[in-house]
A = this chain, B = another copy of it.
Amino acid sequence: MPPSVASPLVDHHCHGVARADLGPEDFASFLTESDAPAAPGTTFFDTQLGFAVRRWCPPLLDLPAHCPPARYLARRRELGAREVNGRLLRAAGITDYLVDTGLPGDLTTPQELAAAGAATAHEIVRLEALAERVADGVDPPDAAEGFLHGLATAVQDAARTAVGFKSVVAYRYGLDFDPAPPDPAEVRAAAARWLDRRTPGGRLADPVLLRHLLWSAARTALPLQLHTGFGDPDLRLDRCDPLLLTDFVRAVRPTGCSLVLLHGYPYHRGAGYLAHAFPHVYTDVGLSLTHTGARAEAVLGEMLELAPFGKIMFSSDAYGLPELYVVGAQLFRRALARLLTGWVDDGSWSPDDARRIAGLIGAGNARRVYRLGAGGADG
Q: Is A65 a contact of B347 with CB atoms below 8 Å?
A: yes
Judge whether A277 is part of the interface by a CB distance below 8 angstroms.
Answer: yes
A374: shortest Cβ distance to chain B, in Å?
13
Contacts of A353 in B (CB 8 A): 51, 66
Judge whether A309 is part of the interface by a CB distance below 8 angstroms.
Answer: yes
Judge whether A293 is part of the interface by a CB distance below 8 angstroms.
Answer: yes
- Give A278 to B36 CA distance when docked, in angstroms: 7
Judge whether A193 is part of the interface by a CB distance below 8 angstroms.
Answer: no
Residue of B nearest to A340 (CB): B294
Judge whether A304 is part of the interface by a CB distance below 8 angstroms.
Answer: yes
A300: shortest Cβ distance to chain B, in Å?
11
Copies of this protein in the assembly total 3
Q: Is A237 a contact of B230 with CB atoms below 8 Å?
A: no
Contacts of A357 in B (CB 8 A): 46
A51-B348, A269-B265 known; A343 vs B294 contact (CB < 8 Å)? yes
Judge whether A76 is part of the interface by a CB distance below 8 angstroms.
Answer: no
Proximity string of chain A (269-293) to chain B, C-beta cutoff 8 Å, 1 when within and 0 when not: 1100100111110000000000111
- Give A298 to B294 CA distance when docked, in angstroms: 13
Q: Which of A236-267 contact B (CB under 8 A)?
A: 236-238, 241, 243-244, 246-247, 250, 265-266
Judge whether A301 is part of the interface by a CB distance below 8 angstroms.
Answer: yes
Judge whether A23 is part of the interface by a CB distance below 8 angstroms.
Answer: no
Residue of B nearest to A303 (CB): B295
Q: Is B310 a contact of A33 with CB atoms below 8 Å?
A: no
Judge whether A161 is part of the interface by a CB distance below 8 angstroms.
Answer: no
Segment with Cβ contacts to B, from A37-45, A126-134, A314-322 = A37-45
Q: Is A292 a contact of B311 with CB atoms below 8 Å?
A: no
Q: Is B270 a contact of A266 with CB atoms below 8 Å?
A: yes
Contacts of A349 in B (CB 8 A): 51, 55, 66, 294
Q: Is A33 a contact of B237 with CB atoms below 8 Å?
A: no
Contacts of A236 in B (CB 8 A): 243, 246-247
Judge whether A350 is part of the interface by a CB distance below 8 angstroms.
Answer: yes
Contacts of A241 in B (CB 8 A): 238
Residue of B nearest to A65 (CB): B347
Judge whether A306 is part of the interface by a CB distance below 8 angstroms.
Answer: yes
Q: Is A39 a contact of B266 with CB atoms below 8 Å?
A: no
A46-B357, A368-B41 known; A277 vs B348 contact (CB < 8 Å)? no
Proximity string of chain A (97-137) to chain B, C-beta cutoff 8 Å, 1 when within and 0 when not: 00000000000000000000000000000000000000000
A232-B277, A270-B238 known; A293 vs B348 contact (CB < 8 Å)? yes
User: 12 A-B Cβ contacts within 8 A?
Assistant: A37-B279, A42-B309, A42-B310, A46-B357, A52-B348, A66-B350, A233-B278, A236-B243, A238-B246, A294-B346, A295-B305, A298-B301
Q: Can you add 20 more A-B contacts, CB < 8 Å, to A34-B278, A44-B308, A294-B346? A: A34-B276, A39-B308, A39-B310, A41-B310, A41-B368, A42-B308, A42-B310, A48-B305, A48-B306, A51-B353, A55-B347, A55-B349, A66-B353, A232-B277, A233-B277, A236-B243, A237-B246, A265-B269, A298-B302, A299-B305
